[in-house]
């Protein structure tokens, strides 16, 4: 286990003129941060909506791990969207999407980026039940390269909940309000300036879900049908822009291909072997050995550090779609107590979706909070306060962006703001380093060409084309 990080109390700046702090920094960086106009937080209401909207995710995982779960072939796909799925259109927090072209000629399509799951699908014009989407539905009849996958093809057997009538069919049920059964097919995908033929995907024909945010999902998980598996790339990386950026549309670097790289100072931790049961088989598991909160080092129990390969419980995986980090209940309680014992503020009732909140006095401008370090196997991830807490001076609240779970733990995207994260599939390791993600694609001397692929609610990705230097 990594050694304990030096004890440091960081100053959390709270702006009385906005619902969230402009930024967070150590004492030495206050002048620079205060003079910066780069950051403006989304509203407290929007953050609460986002947390409430997506926190059912861990509950759905717990249901999959219950003793009454069905056999793996009948297990519904992992849920991400709660029963208030149309709330996505009101949120002002990062839902990371990618714009691609599907078909020949390419038809513009917006897909939700998902590093946990391994299936690529989009809503098709042939749908009998359709949700609103930002671009026209993909029309297979207008593409000369669209081809249905035969029932006897091996790709059909790899589809989620496959079945066959006249066509090879798939069926994905994320939640009671988000599902997509449809037809398995192959098609040409345009990613930046490059095109890739014969990629397997789902053509959704009876869909419910995103309502204006995306047309489907781009899965980058460890399964055979993910985009990364089909392209046979060895690396990809993302750099999530901050929740606090003050512009309505911000681009973030997203690199895919062998040339994805970080600086020599980046830290790395190995992936942990994942269970065989779907959907856990597609997750990128990590070994979190301890969490430092200020002066306290909290060791993680085996339910966080180890995966039980018999029943698929335990372990921690990284997820780009879930805002909060969730720790298995005993681990979370210990971390929670470490915060409570060191933050000199009274506790206050937490809004729905949160667990631990402190009371802020009116017109408060700053409050000391503990330094936080996630100790992974071989690498320490130091988290600035803005990646740990969210504040609303108007409601007198300072809330921890972590929660408890049962049976599995999740590293969420709030903790990954302004962190360049590289998935090295060849070395089976995750590497990371701090970065100014909103500026990285402008200031970094990329060895490859890049094009802007997406526009979403608060953030988008730049796809760096690894095949056209």
Rounded CA gap, 450 and 427, in Å?
A: 25
β-partners of residue 5 are none
Torsion-angle region of 94 (φ positive above 0: left; ψ -120 to 50: alpha; else: beta): beta
Residue 416, SS3 per DSSP:
helix
3-state secondary structure of 461: strand
Tally of CB atoms within 10 A around 132 = 13
Beta strands 178-191; 372-376: pairing state: unpaired
56 an active-site residue? no
Q: Assign residue 198 a region: left if phi > 0, alpha if psi is -120 to 50, beta otherwise? A: left
Tell me, yes or no, if 114 is annotated catalytic: yes
Dihedral-angle region of residue 79 (phi above 0 means left; psi in -120 to 50 means alpha; beta otherwise): beta
- How far apart (Å, rounded) are the C-alpha atoms in residues 453 and 255? 11
The span from the CA of 107 to the CA of 123, in Å, is 12
199 in Cβ contact with 179 (< 8 Å): no
- Structure tokens, 44: 């407290």
Count of CB atoms within 10 A of residue 263's CB? 10
Specify whether the CB–CB gap between 356 and 149 falls below 8 A.
no
Give the chain's length.
Answer: 469
**Residue 240: CB partners within 8 Å, gap ≥ 6?**
94, 96, 252, 320, 413, 416, 417, 418, 419, 437, 459
Calculate the alpha carbon distances from 462 to 302, 303, 438 in Å. Answer: 38, 36, 10
Within 10 Å of residue 75's Cβ, how many Cβ atoms? 17
Query: Which of 56, 99, 114, 371 is flagged as catalytic?
Result: 114
Beta-bridge partner residues of 419: 434
- Determine which one of 56, 319, 328, 424 is catalytic: 319
Residues taking part in catalysis: 114, 319
């Amino acid at each position: 286990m990594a050694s304990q990080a030096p004890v440091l109390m960081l100053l959390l700046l709270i702006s009385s003129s906005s619902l969230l702090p402009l930024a967070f920094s150590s004492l030495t960086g206050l002048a620079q941060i205060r003079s910066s106009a780069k950051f403006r937080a989304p509203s407290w209401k929007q953050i609460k909506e986002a947390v409430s909207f997506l926190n059912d995710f861990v509950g759905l995982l717990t249901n999959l791990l219950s003793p009454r779960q069905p056999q793996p072939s009948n297990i519904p796909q992992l849920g991400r969207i709660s029963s208030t799925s149309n709330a996505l259109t009101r949120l002002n927090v990062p839902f990371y999407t990618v714009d691609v072209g599907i078909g020949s000629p390419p038809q513009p399509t917006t897909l939700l980026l998902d590093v946990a799951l391994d299936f690529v699908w989009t809503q098709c014009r042939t749908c009998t039940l359709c949700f609103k989407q930002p671009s026209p539905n993909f029309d297979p009849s207008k593409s000369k390269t669209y081809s249905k996958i035969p029932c006897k093809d091996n790709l059909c057997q790899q589809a989620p909940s496959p079945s066959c009538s006249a066509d090879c069919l798939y069926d994905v049920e994320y939640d009671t309000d988000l599902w997509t059964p449809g037809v398995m097919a192959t098609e040409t995908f345009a990613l930046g300036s490059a095109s890739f033929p014969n990629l397997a995907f789902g053509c959704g024909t009876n869909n419910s879900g995103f309502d204006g945010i995306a047309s489907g999902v781009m899965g980058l998980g460890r399964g055979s049908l993910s985009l990364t598996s089909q392209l046979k790339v060895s690396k990809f990386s993302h750099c999530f822009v901050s929740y606090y950026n003050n512009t309505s549309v911000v681009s973030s670097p997203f690199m895919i291909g062998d040339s994805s790289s970080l600086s020599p100072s980046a830290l790395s931790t190995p992936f942990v072997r994942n269970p065989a049961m779907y959907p856990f088989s597609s997750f990128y598991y990590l070994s979190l050995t301890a969490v430092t909160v200020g002066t306290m080092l909290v060791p993680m129990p085996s339910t966080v550090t180890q995966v039980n390969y018999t029943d698929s419980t335990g372990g921690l995986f990284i997820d780009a779609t879930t805002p909060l980090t969730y720790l298995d209940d005993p681990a979370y309680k210990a971390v929670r107590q470490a915060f409570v014992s060191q933050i000199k503020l009274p506790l206050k009732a937490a809004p729905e979706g949160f667990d631990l909140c402190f009371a802020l006095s009116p017109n408060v401008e700053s409050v000391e909070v503990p330094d936080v370090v996630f100790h992974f196997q071989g690498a320490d991830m130091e988290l600035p306060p803005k990646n740990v807490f969210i504040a609303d001076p108007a409601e007198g609240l300072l809330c921890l962006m972590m929660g408890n779970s049962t049976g599995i733990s999740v590293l969420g995207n709030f903790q990954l703001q302004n962190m360049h994260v590289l998935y090295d599939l060849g070395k089976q390791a995750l590497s990371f380093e701090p970065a100014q993600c909103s500026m990285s694609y402008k200031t970094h001397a990329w060895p490859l060409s890049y094009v802007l692929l997406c526009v979403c609610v608060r953030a988008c990705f730049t796809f760096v084309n690894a095949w056209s230097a």
